[in-house]
Amino acid sequence: MGEVARLFLRLGLTAFGGPAAHIAMLRDEVVVRRKWMEDQHFLDLLGATNLIPGPNSTEMCIHVGYQRAGWQGLLAAGGFFILPAALITTILAWAYAEFGTTPQAAWLLDGVKPVVIAIILQALWGLGGSAVKGIFGGLVALAALALYFAGVDALLLLLLGGLVMMLYQNRASLTANLPALLAMPLFQPALWAGPAAAKLLQTPQPFSQGRLFLSFLKIGSVLYGSGYVLVAFIQDEFVSGLGWLSSQQLIDAIAIGQVTPGPVFTTATFIGYQVGGLPGAVLATLGIFLPSFIFVALSNPLIPRLRRSPWIGGLLDGVILSSLGLMAAVTLELAGDALSSPLTIATGLLAALLLIRYKVNTTWLIAGGAVLGLLAHYLGIGA
């Protein structure tokens, strides 16, 4: 228990660079240095995290803690990995609420936002190269992108993408039962129209802490893919749906989330503070991460069977493809706010070059973007 707590507190304070970097650091600690498990078992755990919703790197930490020290290890690993980022994000959220409208803070964020767009695009490119394995998969991702802009609910898009790929990859075994399948309620038109129509009819709702917690609990329970896909769900829930957040606040939340170590999902902490103060930050953090602890505890004993299932594998492939489509759609929306001047466009292009060509760590890019924003302000270069 003590070993687990110390290791994941240190990782929570130093794990910059996003989920892929977190997982690489974790493997070095638990497989290479401490030899808590073999490489193959580490890979099995990594595969299992892709079959359940939630942030992959955080769930990997929870898996490792559970393997090493049981239920106490599960709680310690997840808690100590999340806590530093949540505390730092809360402090930054307070500073943003106090000083975010001053020229200095605004220019700092103007320098960071284009870098965020470059980071998301680079992640999208890398994920797409491994996830889109054929023309049909590419069409699923493009359909998700188009339907998002048509107003279809993001959760429904993930469900439909998963079902379509699951059926497509197992089409040979379904041919004989096609009539019965089409008679299922899932394929009735009312289900397709309902969520989209409800979204279009939504009006801004009064704020409540309970609704804030339940909204993030829902997102944490269904969100597959990279932490950047979280942006699509926040846009859909808090900007377009409830009307509690502006697009400007959303892009600022992503930018600030990038400068903290640990899980990207602590963006929820920042948003919770902006709409509900310190209690909102706590409730948003609990809501977004609680499902991960539950899913890991339930799935850990089932990992061997889950990995062998062609049906679950097909469902996962479709969910990932839909997630890529959502990421692309939201990136296009956010780019309009982030790339608003020649300076911000140049910053974004430079960040993309450094990421793709020279593999510069995202933490240094974020810091560099912040410095450029401040220099531009003090040198009098207009946005």
Per residue in 58-111, pLDDT (tens digit) is: 999 999 999 999 999 999 999 999 999 999 999 989 988 887 655 556 676 778
Identify whether the C-beta of residue 278 lies closer than 8 Å to the C-beta of residue 209. no
Identify whether the C-beta of residue 5 lies closer than 8 Å to the C-beta of residue 76. yes
Query: If you average pLDDT over residues 289-294, what whole number do you get?
Result: 95
pLDDT for the residue numbered 191: 41
28 part of a folded domain: no
Identify whether the C-beta of residue 343 lies closer than 8 Å to the C-beta of residue 381. yes
204 part of a folded domain: yes
The count of structural domains within the chain is 1
41 part of a folded domain: no
What DSSP character marks residue 32? I
Range of the domain at 230: 102-378
DSSP 3-state helix, strand, coil percentages of the chain (rounded to 5)?
85, 0, 15
90 part of a folded domain: no
Lowest average pLDDT, out of 166-180, 244-258, 348-362, 365-379, goes to: 166-180
173 part of a folded domain: yes
Sign of torsion, CA 105 106 109 111? negative
- Residue 253 — φ and ψ, nearest 5°? -65, -40
143 part of a folded domain: yes
Lowest average pLDDT, out of 7-21, 65-79, 165-179, 268-282, goes to: 165-179
Kindly tell me if the per-residue pLDDT of 242 is higher than 80.
Answer: yes
pTM for this prediction: 0.69
